[in-house]
Structure 1
């Protein structure tokens, strides 16, 4: 794949010209190799941004921010890592930005790839844009950052109305980009069925539904542009999110007969050698109890199948953003929708607090027992004590606003997550943090260290995590998906746009909360 050159000129000038695609590097290859000038610190980090004319979206506000924040970062390696990572989505992942064929003069669309996979995930794209909220301001201009947000919301709405149980999608027809093959999905048996020319993968993930509401809230709170949400298909898509979530409160078993309910609203079976790529019980998954008030999720944010289908972090995210998005619905006079969203969000919080908190005997600081959030529960009394680095996670619950970082249950949960009591926590000579079943034990996801920093007020904890992040890039100057805790040269995904943007956003957050840390050195 060639990154961007033709799209650069569509985005910036409204026409194609000047630079040929042949002159722009394939960023997947480009990001695997080191490029001068190197940073002057101990890690000599590569310069990883593509040439300016090959960037997929250019923003003068972004360049100004990079310069001003860079001036506050004393450590040369940390400064380089920020300069490489924060613009990564705008530099490389805005694959297409244009208009809908239905409303060719007004309905913007934005197709955002994850990086090395040429498809648009609802969750990833929402988080990729979230990094640029500090730059977002109201603007009707098609070449503005606000237009990118509006285009992503519009395209996500289309996707949800097409296939609400799916998580990852193909380019829109208006882009003239070909659908990407997904060999892993060739033998999928999925209900409801989907069109592979529109859908890249159809793993039902509750966080995907919540991410649409999250992106909508992000845009609304930054711009106060309520009128946008009444123009096209937002209200209908929000209703679809709510209806789909309600459908997935359906239990597996009839509470009266204890026999499986037929049909289930969603089933998934894949021919695979990995148990996390399919669902047990012929696609139904592990049984989920009736009457909990929680919403099922067949897959995690990692795209791995759940063990128990009541995935607590995803329920938390939905709870938060149903409430915030209800304010949008109310402002555009969708009063009944707003009422329904709140009527679902409020008892959902109660359900999380009732079923998602478990007591661990003898696990407190003084051996007296401790109450913590479980990662997954089934409503029958089964629960899974772990966390996964992918967001939403239990660790991130304080960051996205479900719980206070000073809440005793969250504090106990966080302490457990960041220790050997979490089966997916590893501490190696290079880096320590939370990993994922997606990449296996012993591999740390730098994303988890970023979230650790975002949820900490402890200067020493923050400095330690920053130092490990700097040593985890293999000199390439980009945040990878996962890194071997003992060997930084063993990593996965050279081009993972979301994680890079999250790191950059974390640096901006530190600048507001802990500016003195950015003035320190990590060369020791």
Structure 2
């Protein structure tokens, strides 16, 4: 186990080893690859290697090209602990466990290449299978051990007051975890039209997802999930084990956000919007990839119900009178506006396909999120961007810059985000979890595969849709 794995997740994110000693920003890096030697890479995809070469040639800025070549393959280079037809295990980086959300997001940038690389397609099939089996162990868990018979080795989860099962690393209930498992399966189907992953185990996991979402609408009771943790941060536990009281309005309760921080109000609006999209994708899979008419109908019905509840209860007015999507609500009329860099976020709704990027409501929401209306928006000497409670004040997450660029309709915004991403890596050649708004040499998590992969996804998309931005970037 790595030194990072021996620390608590909050410690990793907020201090200690997380604030890595970085080269002085004034020292220009020599653009030598920071990837492991070929023989030390966990998984090698010829299609990815060819794409790195092709895309890199289209990037006019040497440092940006260097960062792309380091970051995009980071998941394959360093986090694939097992790769097989029926089982692939992908860790998040400096923590040796599989997060449903992170592993799905880490693989998403490679989906367009699956037809060109049978082994890469096999890796994703194995991950879909691992997700299904993990969900059947416990659909309320967010993270899992490689050995399904092992107890958690995460020090911060050892004494959680919840129903910990063998194979579970952490049991924070997050709506988006199940959504991401659906999203990866749907992305695989769209890329390959291969029905092999969609077997009886996958169908049983899909049924478990529907059942869990229904339970967490809490129409008749609080449901079976409870979680409490003794921790110095209130974002690590749930009030009374269930979270704050809510009115039953058809939305799905989430205990925690995609940052793994506890919700203030249990109806997390970005996660519910993501659930609507994921349920509609599940319905497509249940019609086409594995014909299950009853499953398709149930997924569609739940999506329609949650979508109606969002329209009725998911928006709020800012003090200046603008109507925006709320970040969280409780059904009693209480709502909070903020945004967190972790996706699903309000800023990331267009990227996830939950809204049209031209939708006026979303555009107003995204503009407010990228401003002083959002308490977790920071502007410093080095950069501006969105952070979140998980790391704390002053820390900007590069993920927010990447999502902003992926969602932008104008070239100027994309250029500005690229420049900030290039100039805040502390000359490491990688994208980090977060950095100080005044001093990017202070950063958290030097090994965070999700952010690296998302950065690579941005560069690949720009090479396809706006190559002039990369070719002329400086």
Q: What is the CA distance between 1:46 and its match in structure 2?
A: 5.8
Deviations 1:103-142 (A, max 9, x none): xxxx510000000000000000000000111211287x5x
Instruction: Within 5 Å, give how 1:351-430 maps onto structure 2.
Output: 351-361=309-319, 363=320, 369-430=321-382
1:421 aligned counterpart, secondary structure: coil
- 1:121 equivalent to 2:99? Answer yes
Contact 2:215 2:223 in 1 (8 A): no
Contact 2:47 2:116 in 1 (8 A): no
Deviations 1:358-393 (A, max 9, x none): 1235x2xxxxx2110001111110111000000111
1:268 aligned counterpart, secondary structure: coil
Q: Which residue of 1 aligns with 2:286?
A: 329
Q: Which residue of 2 aligns with 1:17?
A: none
Greater RCO (CA < 8 Å, at least 6 residues apart): 2
Contact 2:20 2:443 in 1 (8 A): no
Contact 2:408 2:414 in 1 (8 A): yes
Contact 1:34 1:46 in 2 (8 A): no
Q: What is the CA distance between 1:311 and its match in structure 2?
A: 0.5
- 1:241 equivalent to 2:199? Answer no
1:293–1:46 distance in 2 versus 1, CA, 3 Å: farther
Deviations 1:53-74 (A, max 9, x none): 0000001111110001000001
Distance in 2 of aligned mates of 1:60 and 1:518: 23
Q: Which residue of 1 aligns with 2:10?
A: none
2:440 aligned counterpart, secondary structure: strand
| TM-score of the superposed pair, with normalisation by structure 2 | 0.92
Distance in 1 of aligned mates of 2:216 and 2:116: 36
Deviations 1:475-523 (A, max 9, x none): 111110000000111110010001000000000111122111101243x
Distance in 1 of aligned mates of 2:417 and 2:212: 38
Q: Which residue of 1 aligns with 2:6?
A: none
Distance in 2 of aligned mates of 1:384 and 1:406: 24
CA RMSD of aligned residues (A): 2.3
Contact 2:129 2:197 in 1 (8 A): no
Distance in 2 of aligned mates of 1:95 and 1:429: 39
What runs of 5+ residues in structure 2 fail to find an aligned partner? 4-16
Q: Which residue of 1 aligns with 2:129?
A: 154
Contact 2:394 2:436 in 1 (8 A): yes
1:385–1:32 distance in 2 versus 1, CA, 3 Å: closer
| TM-score of the superposed pair, with normalisation by structure 1 | 0.84
- 1:296 equivalent to 2:224? Answer no
Q: What is the CA distance between 1:414 and its match in structure 2?
A: 0.7
Query: Where do 4+ consecutive residues of structure 1 move more than 4 Å?
Result: 31-35, 41-46
Deviations 1:272-309 (A, max 9, x none): 111000011x212111111x211000000000000001
Distance in 1 of aligned mates of 2:31 and 2:250: 49
Distance in 2 of aligned mates of 1:354 and 1:518: 42
Q: Which residue of 1 aligns with 2:189?
A: 220
Query: Which of the two has higher C-alpha Rg?
Result: 1
Q: What is the CA distance between 1:420 and its match in structure 2?
A: 1.2
